Amino acid sequence: MQRYFIYFAYDGTAYHGWQVQPNGNSVQAELQKALSVLLQTPIQVVGAGRTDTGVHARKMVAHFDMECTLNEEQMAYKLNRLLPHDISVYGLEAVAEDMHARFSAKWRTYHYYVHLYKDPFCRTYSYQLYRTPDFDKMNEAAAYLCEVKDFGAFCKSNSDAKTTLCDLIKARWVQEGEGKWYFEVTANRFLRNMVRALVGTLLDVGYGKLTLEAFREVIMSKSRSNAGESVPGHALFLEEVEY
């Protein structure tokens, strides 16, 4: 049995997230359907993580197993011909049988994009802020995130997560142009809705609704009800998965 990693990107606008859903289309469903058609056998893929409805990925990784050896370059070409226009395969790679797309991943990086002025070319992939927050204060608060381990305050209520502990090694706001910023966060794992809740709470700091001390108290409370609102999913991208 040969295990393959598949590297791909997708625009999540039309999908109910990564994971197969009973009442809506998903990226996983489309990928499995295309692989099953090409390989003429039912294929199940395991992703590096789960993205929510409307969330995008510049680099997602999934694995599947085959009893025969595949021509990786040819398979990537055929997949791109068969998959919808909003899913793009970068390549396939044969890996050791104990490599796992989810559990072998060491770090995952997300970006959340915001812009400060009305821009028709940003609206689909960035969140418009209607006033300018204090990005310096938000960066002070973001730096504190790398000093804590329990992110229960940013986990969606009724989540099935067995633990709310995460190792964050990077959390910062980066300006990429006039009136355009993104929040970059890297961790070994993320809780459901975590990045969007983090951004919403950091914006509360930037708008003066929370002091830095109050922000720390929110984290220590481990209660989702104390944190800020979740920002919309359309501006969130899974940027990188590292093994």
Write the burial class of residue 36 (CB in 10 Å: 0-12 exposed, 13-18 middle, 19+ buried).
middle
Per-residue CA distances from 42 to 24, 31, 33, 64, 66 (Å): 20, 11, 8, 11, 10
Q: Are 101 and 63 in contact (CB under 8 A)?
A: yes
Q: Are 58 and 125 in contact (CB under 8 A)?
A: no
52 catalytic residue (yes or no): yes
Q: Are 185 and 191 in contact (CB under 8 A)?
A: no
Question: Which of 52, 136, 160, 167 does the annotation list as catalytic?
Answer: 52
Q: Does the CA dihedral 150-152-155-158 come out positive or negative?
A: positive
Q: Please choose, from the candidates 195, 226, 231, 234, the residue with its C-alpha nearest in 3D space to the C-alpha of residue 209.
A: 226
- Return the active site residues: 52
